[in-house]
Each structure stands twice: as C-alpha cells, then as structure tokens.
Structure 1
Amino acid sequence: MRLAYLKARVIPFNAEGVICEEFGSIVIDIVGPGRLYGATNSCNGFTVTDVQKDQYILIDNLLAQKSYVLLPQGVSKPAGLNDSVIPVTVPISAAYADTLDVLGFAELLNISSSFVAASPDVVTAHTSPCFNFTGGATSEYIFTSSAASTANKTIVFSASDLSLTPTQKMMWINYLAYFFGKQNQALSISSVINKNYQCVKDRVTAGVKEKYAIAWTQAEPTANQFTLKDDTYIKTLIQDAAAVPVAVNSAQESNFSNAASFHIALQGADMLIDTTPLSDGQSYTDWLNIMQFTQGLDIFLDKEAFIQNKNVFRTGGLVSASGYPDYPERYAARPDIALMDVVAMQYPTFQPSYNMTWIYNFAQSGPVRQMSQLTNYTCGNANAMLQGITACDNLNGDPFVPPSTQVAPTNDTETENSQSSAPQGLSAGSKAGIAVGVIAGVAAVAGGAYMFWRKRKTFSEPSHNFYKMDDI
C-alpha cells in the first residue's frame, strides 16, 4: 500500500467515468502556470495522479501492477512511498527500447531521438526510418512490455495487453507522454486519432446491414496446433468495422490440436486473416497445406467463401527493406489506420482512393510495399502523419451503403453470443490493395503460438525471431 497523500486527485479523461470501451470526452485540468495535465480513465489500464500540485506525479500501470513517481530534476522520492514505487526523474532525455510497440507512440510524440538504444531484436526488426540505433548510446531507463522485468529503472509499457480495445491501446500515448513532458501533445494527438476512428466506425456501422464474417487464425506449423483468435482487440476491431468476428462459444477452447475441429469452427467465415509464421518464399499453397485444407479431402475447398473467393489476408503488407512487418510497431498507436484497413478489406468502395497499409490479400498474391516507397511518411511532424488517412469527414458522416454489385451474403456463422448472422461475401475480383499510409488493423494479432515472425523476401508473411504476438 502507498501512503495516504494529501490533496491528491486522479484526473480522468471522462468526467462521468463512462463505458470502458468508449474514448469519452476529454477533461482538461490546469494545475499550474502553463501546465496542462490529463490522464486516462482506469479502463485504459493506467491512472495518473497529480499530488499537491506539481510536487510530484504518481502513475499506476494497473495491468502490470507497477507504480512510478515522476519527480522534477533534483527532487528526491517523497518519504512514505513504498519501496516498490519506482522513482523517475522527468522529463526523460534518453531511453532504451525493449518492445517494438513503444516506437509507434514515440514517433507520434516526436521523441524518436530520445530512444537512443534498443535490444538487439528491436534494432533488427524495427521498421520506422525515424529511429537510429547505430550510435551505441545507452540509457538508465528501459521501456519494456514485460511486467516480469526486474532491471533497475524499468518502465513497463502495456499497450500490447490483450484485454484492451483498439482505442484503449491508443490511449497509452498519454502514459508515455508523462515520462517525456509531452502531455499537451499527447492529448491533441489522441483526440485526432479517436475522431478518425469513431468517424469511420459510425459511417460503416450505420450503413452496413448484412455483415461479413471474419475469422482471425494462426497455426504452429511444426506442432499441429491451430488457434481461432478472439481477444478483445480482435473482436472489437472486427465489430467496429461492421463485421462479425468468428469465434468459439464461451464453453469452447479457441486452441485446437485437431484440424477437422478447427475447420468446423471456421464454418461461415467469408474472410480470414492469418498470422501463421511462414518461412521465406512460402506461398498460399504452402499455407493451405499447413492448415490442412486438402483438395478433394476437405469440404472447405468446395464450400467456404474465404476459400472459394480467395479472401485470405495477412498483416505483412508494409515491410522494412529487410522484410520485417511494420504492423507490430504501429498497430497499437494507430487504431484508425487498422480500422480503415479492415473496412477497405471488405468494401473497397468505402473510400476508393484508399490503399490498405498493413493488410494484403495473401491468397491473391496482393502487393507488398516497403517503407522506403512511402512518399508521405514524415518524421518529426505528427500533424502530417495524422492527415490524409481517411476522407470520412469530407463525406459529412453519411452512412456508407455497400454497392449493389457486392456479392450477397452466402454463409451463416455462429458468433460468441450464439446469434446467427448472414455475412456478405466479397466478389472474387475485390482485391485488397495496399499502399501506405493508412492502416490496417485488422491484425487482431495476438497470438499464443505465433511467437515469431521470420524475414520475408516474397509475398509470404515475414517472420522474425523477435515479436511475440501474444503481446499484441
């Protein structure tokens, strides 16, 4: 227990403490000359408490059960705080990165230069051109996703927690901002991203009446294990894209050791997003074999829409020059892009000028783009990075109505709450394009078995030995 401090107040983003799934309105509290403070509702996984007006700030990571006291230069840790409360002198000028997803947030806050070093895996797998880890510099502060870390001056960054919705993950930009004195910028950026996300969500959910069913899968090629992913991020992202997440019911396990049972659980899926680790050069045919979809022996090849229409997608549509996917680095920071990708995957006419960022149609050998090909990727300019993602506002928020040329729903699927839905199947000619700046999210990524990505040289998903997908 921490000491009972006087005049302490938690500053939430929503004055009424609204629903956890919603971003809510922003409440700003001025606590000193020119000083602006804001923190998220505890639903997002952390709280920020201003103690005695500017003397110090307490940050509680509720997911990792870690606490930090932020102190100005020259100020010692207050007496009475537990030994477990970690003192941090702010603003931090140099930091070490031990998790990829913190980079996506740091980039938006324009503190890329503050991350002077990283673990070997982060150095190898990071995709953003805004970071330079070649100088060999070090820092006493380490940002990691592992709550088990015991290293001194470790700060646990839990935006990858599977219990968080897409917008809740994004709110961790405010958590990071406090350590670097960037609270004002974080409030502004999170507001813009939330506005983008909500506008897309409102338009598509208001107009789509018959919904596609989307399954998120992963297999472990060497262990004969299959997973139908259904964590909070995945389910919420798919639902916000006006689709039905294919999931087992609450009495069933989402992991399968029997391919036939796994195939039965996929019945009714119009589209499938997969994060199975593939080696360099492995093709869609190789993937079918890994998933044990065998010609002449499996009814799925004759019946299921995601097979018949070749609507099998992966999240490696944007990669570094060495083949590592950008999605694990930026998906948590940019849910607006992730949502647009899932919507565009289903409805290319939602915004015809939009090219998907992270998702691509693996079954149809969809295009993969390198980061170096992005002409509008700007370091050090958050406004530029936030612009041009969607044209949602230009359409006055009018409900999106799928064109009559879209193939009518063909399958029924059982959702987690046992409601039946008739999803729409995309025509075989509807391709998932992929471009740059926009998003994709669909990667509901999460995964138990999918622990590593390997490098990719072709259209197969790159795999590297770093990013643990359970952390997404």
Structure 2
Amino acid sequence: MFKNSIAWALLAMLWALPAQSQSNPANDTANGWIYEELPGYTLLHNLIANTSYALVPQGQVVTVSGNVPQISVPITAAAADTLDVLGFAELLSSNVTNTFTTGSSNILLANTSPCFTMSNNASAPYTFTNGTSTANNTIVFSANDPSLTPLQKVWWLQYLAYFYNEEKVALQTVLSITTNYNCIKIRVNSGVKDPYAIAWTQANMVTPQVYEIRTDTYAKTLITDAAAKMIAPNSAQDKTYTNVGEFHLALHGADVLLDTTPLSEGELYPQWQKIMNMVPGASLFYESEGYYKNRQVYRTDGLVSQSGYSNFPERYAARPDLALMDMIAIQYPTFQNTYNTTWLYNFAIGSSPHTMPANYECKDTLAMISNQIHCYGDEPFTPPATQVAPTNETETEDNSSSGDQSSSLSTGSKAGIAIGVIAGVAALGGAAFLFYRKRPTAEPSHNFYKMDDI
C-alpha cells in the first residue's frame, strides 16, 4: 500500500505542475506522432499516415502555413470509422464520449461500450478513421498500427486528447497505465527463469487455406514483456503457410497458442482442430507439443457485448496493462490472485466468453485503472513448483533454442529429421486439408475478426 501511495503521489505532483513546465514524453517520433506548439495553434503530425492537422481554438482565426487542414478544437461532434478510437475516447471525459454522435455501420454494430449513444441518423463534421485519407473532414487515428509496441500505442490517447483540449487528463491516464505495465513487466521478468513459449496464430479461410504466425512488433513485445518466448519465423522466413505440415513444424516447442482464426457461428474447439488440421488420434508430431497435449489454446474474444461482439479490438490498444496482465495470467494464474483475465480465455478446455456487465460505468477512469492491477515491482514473482514445465528445444524468432542443450543429435541429424517430418506431414496434412475443406462453410460469426484488425 505504501508503494502504491508513492506512485500516486508522484502522479499528483505531475498533475499539479503548470502545463508549460511539463516535458511531454509523448513528443517522441517512436510513438508514431508528434506535435508542435506554434503561435495561436498546435500542429499535430501523424507520422504513420503522413498527415498533419492545425488545431485552432474555437472562435479564433489564425494564419496557418502550408496546406494543412484546420480543425477547430475542442471538437463538438465526431463520427467513428475505426473501432479502437472508442476505446481511447472512453478513457477521457464524458465531454469526449458525448461528441461521438455517429459511426459507420460496422462500428455501430461492433461497438461494445455503453459509453456511446451513436446513431445512424446523426451527422458530424469530422470522422476518425484508421485509413490514409487526406480529406478535410477526416482525422487519421493510427493506434492500431502493428509496428507500435504496447506502450507506444497507449500514447495515442494524448493524440486524441489534443482534439478535445484534454491533454493534461490524458497524460495522467497514460502515465498511470504505463506505471502498471512496467511494474508487472519488471515483477514477472525478474522472477521467471524458465519461460514458456507462445505463438500467435490464425487460419485464413481462403482457397487454398493460409495459416499465419504473427510476427509484428506489438505481438513480439507483449509476449516478451510477459516473460515468455515468441514462437515465430525469423526475418528470412515466411510468416504465412499454405502447407499445413510446414505450419505445424513452425509451431514446434510452443507451450501456448493464442489464436484469432475467424470461426462460424457455433464452431468450438473440435471444429477449430479440423480447420487447423490437428485431428485427435492422427499420431502426427503436434500431439506431443505442449499447447496440444496440455490443451493450452486461447482466444482474445473472452469479453463480449450483450449482442456478442468482442471487446478486444475496441480496447486492447488503449489498455496495454490489461493486455499484458492477461498474457501473464494465462501462464501464471497465481501472479495476481484477484485478477480475472479481461479478454483471453482457454478455448481448448471449453471455457466460454463472458458478457460485459450490465452495471458497466463510464466514469472515474483513474479509479478503475488503480483497482484492476495491484503490483509491487520489488517483489519478484516465483512460479509455483506445481506448474507444468515449459517444452524443451523451443525454436524462437531468433532461431535460438531453450531447454535441454545436451541432446545427442547433431545439427545435421536434426535438420534431416525435420526435412523428413515436413515431407511426411505435408502428405498427410494435404490429404486432411482436402478432406476438411469439403466441410460446409458458413458466414463467420461476428464474435471473431481478422488478425489485421488487431
């Protein structure tokens, strides 16, 4: 409690400082955006989309140099054409959430937060989008870019806040989330000595079917910060596979799979196994892998709205601390005994998503953040001895190997075995693939989404 008090006291001191004396750590090109304070207005640069905006106070007329769209701030009405902007807006005041009066049809359907009362019939002078539009009425919001780390994404809260004159509120919230994230990262990494290996996978339902292992900066950083190793092809290899045997081999050593394959309504783990060509009893080598034999396959849609849409695409970028806690909790449930995962759930053991509570409140952001995570960074976490040990011979993104290093097989022998396995499994997998592609197809359930959307 004393340590938490110190952290909050420091945040309070920062809050009390005059705005002009504060050095804003958000003004870092690594975050994907920067700002310039110019006479009479602020120039905001989205470096990812290569767009800029001149933010002019309401009612004032200033001369803006260059061909830059002018936006009167604070914005009084806006539309949403990207789901994640709503997750960030929810962390600001009701003055911000109330401005979102409309959205595109898919956003109106998929929005999970009761903090917004958007309508099909409303109009708005500005639209937040994640595209590359340069139209005067669009504002590109690029927080979902996969090249950003989890903590770089959260700084887009302040980017959004500039359009509403709420930079100070945003800064306090970002620093609080960052404090949570860094604390739990330090605690788990200082105590875990024998890490698990996690792969983030997806099968895309096209013809021929494509299997993908996620390799982007966001996924890699989140997994690494959770004291785990990422199973992924190295930079010289493909991250997508049309050969199911090669895909299975690339997952060798994975203790946990985090999967976002689009599924049809009512499809559960057995149907997912068929899609991934991991058929029980086929005696293929994946049956000895940790993720398979220990049934450690998770999905990200563990929190859904009353109408069944996943909350993860809307809020994951705005709350990296919860995303990291989830990643730690699926490995070490005792890390924080009071924490229940927000988005991740064990799909392989038949767990079900939970619905957002009917009494969900849209206020007091900092109180909510402080109540969700309790961390003391100077107390390293020690995994319980009863936990299943990580799989040996784990091939990670840098081609390094963990586990038992005393194997009697030479590198050449292992390569020969691998080639043989690929050839054999490719034949079996090809036959299984042709068989299971005959299964009736249905429209994907709205609970699930493409990897590109997260």
Scaled by the length of structure 1, the TM-score of the pair is: 0.81
Q: Percent identity?
A: 49
8 A contact 2:84–2:143 mirrored in 1: yes
Shift of 1:209: 0.2
Higher mean displacement: 67-76 or 286-295: 67-76
Structure 1's consecutive aligned runs of 4 or more residues displaced over 6 angstroms after TM superposition are 26-29, 34-38
Measure, in 2, the Cα distance between the counterparts of 1:193 and 1:225.
Answer: 36
Equivalent residue, structure 1, for 2:366: 383
Whole-Å separation in 2 of the counterparts to 1:258 and 1:360:
28
Secondary structure, in 3 states, of the residue corresponding to 1:180? coil
Where does residue 21 of structure 1 map in the other structure?
Answer: none
The residue aligned with 2:81 is 98
Q: Does 1:221 align with 2:205?
A: yes
Query: Are the aligned partners of 1:247 and 1:265 in contact in 2 as well (CA < 8 Å)?
Result: yes
C-alpha change, 1:28 and 1:267, in structure 2 (3 Å) is farther
Query: Quick check: 1:90–1:180 contact (8 Å CA) kept in 2?
Result: yes
Q: How many residue pairs are counted as aligned between the two chains? A: 400
2:247 corresponding residue in structure 1: 262
Contact 2:82 2:107 in 1 (8 A): yes
Q: Write the distance in 2 (CA, Å) between the matches of 1:349 and 1:29.
A: 39
- Equivalent of residue 276 in structure 2, options 266, 282, 291: 291
2:29 pairs with 1:42: yes
Instruction: Tell me the alpha carbon deviations over residues 411-443 of structure 1, each in whole angstroms, 9 at most, x when there is no partner.
Output: 3222222221239xxxxxxxxxxxxxxxxxxxx
Question: Structure 1, residues 20-40: CA drift from partner, whole Å, max 9, x if none?
Answer: xxxxxx8999566x9997743
Shift of 1:72: 1.3
Structure 1: distance between partners of 2:300 and 2:234: 26
Q: Distance in 1 between matches of 2:403 and 2:98?
A: 50
Q: State the distance in 2 between where 1:135 and 1:412 align.
A: 54
C-alpha distance in 1 between matches for 2:383 and 2:98: 44
Matches within 5 A, 1:444-463: 454-455=444-445, 462-463=447-448
Per the TM alignment, residue 471 of structure 1 is displaced from its structure 2 partner at its CA by 4.2
Number of the residue aligned with 1:279: 264
Contact kept, 8 Å, 2:289 with 2:391, in 1: the verdict is: no
Provide the residue aligned with 1:138 in structure 2.
123
Say whether the 8 Å CA contact 2:195–2:229 is kept in structure 1: yes
The aligned counterpart of 2:173 is 189
For the 8 Å contact 1:210–1:409, the answer to whether it is kept is: yes
Q: How well do the aligned residues superpose, as a CA RMSD in angstroms?
A: 2.2
Trace 1:114-263 onto structure 2 (pairs within 5 A).
Answer: 114-134=99-119, 136-147=121-132, 149-223=133-207, 224-263=209-248
Give the equivalent residue in structure 2 for 1:413. Answer: 394
* Cα deviation 1:246-267 (Å, max 9, x = unaligned): 0111110001011000001000
Query: Rg: which structure is higher?
Result: 2
Q: Give how far 1:386 is off.
A: 1.1
- 2-side partners of 1:30 and 1:78: how far apart? 27
Match of 1:89 among 72, 76, 87: 72
Shift of 1:293: 1.1
Please give the alpha-carbon distance, in whole angstroms, between the structure 2 residues aligned to 1:346 and 1:211: 9
Structure 1 position 58 matched with structure 2 position 40: no
SS of residue matched to 1:49? strand
Instruction: State whether residues 15 and 172 of structure 2, in contact with CA within 8 Å, keep that contact through their aligned partners in structure 1.
Output: no
In structure 2, give the amino acid aligned to 1:100: L
Unpaired runs of 5+ residues, structure 2, are 1-13, 405-442
**Aligned amino acid, residue 390 of structure 2:** P
Contact 2:130 2:140 in 1 (8 A): yes
User: 2:380 is matched by which residue type in structure 1?
Assistant: P
Q: For the residues of structure 2 that align with 1:397 and 1:346, how far apart are their CA atoms?
A: 20
Please give the secondary structure, in 1, of the residue aligned with 2:372.
coil
1:367 aligned onto 2:352: yes
Q: Distance in 2 between matches of 1:419 and 1:35?
A: 43
The aligned amino acid for 2:78 is: A
Task: Give the CA deviation at 1:153.
Answer: 1.5
> Secondary structure in 2 aligned to 1:82?
coil
Distance in 1 (CA, whole Å) between partners of 2:212 and 2:23 is 45
**1:294-309 alignment to 2 at 5 Å?**
294-309=279-294
Contact 2:262 2:445 in 1 (8 A): no
Q: 1:308 and 1:31, CA in 2 relative to 1: closer, same or farther beyond 3 A?
A: closer
Structure 1 residue ranges without an equivalent (≥5): 1-25, 424-452, 457-461
TM-score of the pair, normalised by structure 2: 0.84
Deviation at 1:268, TM superposition (A): 0.3
Cα distance 1:28–1:276, how it changes in 2: closer, same or farther (>3 A)?
farther
Deviations 1:296-344 (CA, angstroms, capped at 9, x unpaired): 4352453111000000000111001111000000000000000000000
* Cα displacement (A) at 1:391: 1.6
Contact in 2 for aligned 1:38/1:187 (Cα 8 Å): no
In the TM superposition, residue 217 of structure 1 has moved relative to its aligned partner by: 0.2
Q: Which moved more, 1:289-298 or 1:112-121?
A: 289-298
Question: Aligned partner of 1:96: which letter?
Answer: A
> 1 CA distance for matches of 2:384 and 2:22?
50
**Structure number having the greater helix percentage:** 2
Q: Counterpart amino acid of 1:247?
A: A
Match of 2:10 in 1: none
Residue 409 of structure 1, CA deviation: 2.6
Structure 2 match to 1:357: 342
Q: Is the 8 A contact 1:46 1:63 kept in 2?
A: yes
Q: Aligned-pair distance for 1:59?
A: 0.5
